[in-house]
Structure 1
Amino acid sequence: MTETVNVGRPRDDRIDRAVLESTRDLLGELSYADLTMTAVAARAGTSVPAIRRRWPSKAHLVHHAVFPDDVAVPPRRHDTSLRDEAAAVIDSCAMLMSSPAMVRAITGLLSDLAADEDLQRELTARLRQAVWTDLGERFAEAAERDGVHLSVDVDLVVETTFGTALMAALLRGADGLDGRWRAAMTELLLAGVGADRRPTEAAR
């Protein structure tokens, strides 16, 4: 007798893409508070139950929309300097914060995460796995190539840059994160980790 295993219907990636794209589009038009699953479902041409089967809450949905699983991370190189990596981290954060939809999403998420410790741990762990770890490793490897002993935890480098970019976007507006701001932040970041000193001095 042959046993039949019911594995259910395969997940439709087209729906996933439509929902995530619709969420990003709506965040360009609405505040986080005004964003609803119903509005996303209508824009994506699907249903609220279909969305909830994939993302159990609005916070989960928005987090995946602004930090998708397939985050485009450029290939890691082995000839970049610490300055190159610092500039790349700052450019990435500035690019993210230059989107009003991203700023709305993050500020709304922060409110939800502050009220739910389990959700905060879950989504923070996802973000670290997708982005933080890679950026931190790149920064540490570049410092080693330059012979610079980092005086701070590399995670703090990424956290500080991300938080500063968010605050700058809120205070200055998206246009404020221009080339001048990025250049100044690069110098500030390098000075903060001790990279403005000669390697022999930094290693003491």
Structure 2
Amino acid sequence: MKTVIIKYNAGNVQSVMYALDRIGAAYEWTDDPDTIRSADKVIFPGVGEASTAMAYLRERGLDKLIPSLKQPLLGTCVGMQLMCRYSEENDTTCMGIFDVDVLRFPRTNGFKVPQTGWNDIYSLNNPLCAGLNEHDYVYYNHGYYAPLCDQTAAKTNYIVEYSAMLQKGNFFAAQFHSEISGNVGQRIFENFLNL
């Protein structure tokens, strides 16, 4: 099986590689369109800022390639947000795979933004969560969120209830960092690779 990690300027790529190494998965890190197109599974990681990440994707035509893929694709954190229609982070038009706009967390007394740390996921409604328990904990680090929508595949709550995961056909995404979410994140990667 050929797994590709998309190479772009918003990646916590080393953590994703370590996570895949732990489960014995072979992978390639690339921004080559033909290599991405021919992969069995595609991982679209992300740490960074939406507008500069989208600019990089547009320069290489990846903003058109990614939504056209037919194989299973998993986006995480900023990767998930870039798969949405729009992000309030620097007024960024994104790829529109998911029919939802990414919003900045409202400022509220008692809550720090960005959300950094462990939080639970619930209302699990996608095959990547097979074997997980309602209210298992995963690791977050983000100041923007995708509201609940028709593609919500798991929920969490920090200031507001929002989409912890999204799914639309072959496209899967997680707001949290699966690659540093311990056994829960490892199970999500295993389930993804076993799709």
> TM-score w.r.t. structure 2 length?
0.25
Higher relative CO (Cα under 8 Å, sequence separation at least 6) belongs to 1
Greater fraction of residues in strand: 2
Larger radius of gyration: 1
> TM-score w.r.t. structure 1 length?
0.24
